[in-house]
Amino acid sequence: MEPQGTPERPVESGFTASGRADASSVTTGAGTSSAYAAPVPPQSSHQQASAPAQPATASSQQAAVQPKKHTGRIIALSIVALLALTVFLMGSCVNTLIGAAREGAEHAQPNSVAVITMSGTIGYNGTSCSPEGLKELLDEAQADPNIKAVVLRVNSGGGTATAGEEMASYVRDFKASKPIVVSSAAINCSAAYEISSQADRIFVAKSTEIGSIGTVMQSIDYSGLMKLLGVNIDNIASAESKDSSYGSRPLTDEERAYYQDLVDQINAVFTDNVAQGRHLSAEEVSQLATGLPFTGVTAVNNGLADEIGTLEDALDAAASLAGLDSYSKTTLELPTSPLSSLFGSLSGSSQANRGLSASDLEQLVKELNTYDGNVE
């Protein structure tokens, strides 16, 4: 369940909440086919019977107790060594990655304005588009005395309602101590806009899509299709409405009314945040909460944004709010692992120019020493 993103963007359905059994993990009871089938006995009947065991010789016993060599680890270490050598020979080893967990605040010059990029779907994904990721970066900016203000560069169509609510509160709390300005890229809608609305100022391009204030919950009824396919679904539930979101039957009128009220309550949190952050009345926000986006030009006129401008304009505004006549720009990013940085260098990604140091190789070896041979 989430604030509505712009049209034609996938929406994370509110019907994927926890507390719901997966269709493949049901249930027990007489006459039902349980996903928790009886365990298959070890050494199934497909194995051919073995011949009578022969007495073990001393040499065979000695061989049996010799430890297995970790050939997989040796191969992995060899590959890493070759890749590291390639990186050095290519001359791409410039800076140390692991000498510091951060590249932003530790290298921030006095009187800096930090840029935090929030690009992607708002949710609990561990990135700067998540509550935990954004809070970590804002806490870093807050703790560094060299950073005087923050610009949040936003390019997102929205996401999960609760994540947007949490992140909006983090921006609001940060604003109490240091200025924070939003620079909108191509899109700044729904949950992303709820977050942005708490900043001191919002900059947009003329063609930026912004707003899309609203909340949506989606329920799909597959019962007609299942009937055509000859599939019959029996839901064994603890309450009449527990299966209301499974799609195996239509919603009842009572259930539809219940979910509509649920959406209205969640949307009220959204609109209240916008009203508070943008200093608008509840009536003004209600008129703008059509679920549709506005262009940057229209948003400036209706009060959802402050000014047409670029990222550089947003940086200047943040510095001005911090009382700076001149400033340095720094970037705050969440850290990456040394292994991903190595492969990023070889693939020519944005991390490639950061290089690989001796401390990086030491960290890689430590990671591989704990490698269990499984690829996630």
- Residues taking part in catalysis: 190, 242
Q: How far apart are CA 232 and CA 254, in angstroms?
A: 24
Q: In Å, what is the CA distance from 301 to each residue of 11, 148, 206, 226?
A: 28, 30, 11, 50
Q: How far apart are CA 156 and CA 208, in angstroms?
A: 11
Q: How far apart are CA 356 and CA 370, in angstroms?
A: 21
- What residue has token string 């924070």? 180
Largest separation between any pair of C-alpha atoms in the chain: 91
Encoded tokens for 78: 């060899």
Q: How far apart are CA 218 and CA 244, in angstroms?
A: 12
Encoded tokens for 39: 């365990």
DSSP code per residue over 247-296:
SSSPPPHHHHHHHHHHHHHHHHHHHHHHHHHHT--HHHHHHH-SS-EE-H
Which residues, 6 or more positions from 14, have their beta carbon under 8 angstroms from its beta carbon?
Answer: 1, 2, 161, 216, 217, 218, 262, 263
Which residues, 6 or more positions from 148, have their beta carbon under 8 angstroms from its beta carbon?
Answer: 111, 112, 113, 178, 179, 319, 322, 323, 324, 327
- 227 has which bridge partners? none
Which residues, 6 or more positions from 23, have their beta carbon under 8 angstroms from its beta carbon?
Answer: 246
- What residue has token string 């009536």? 283
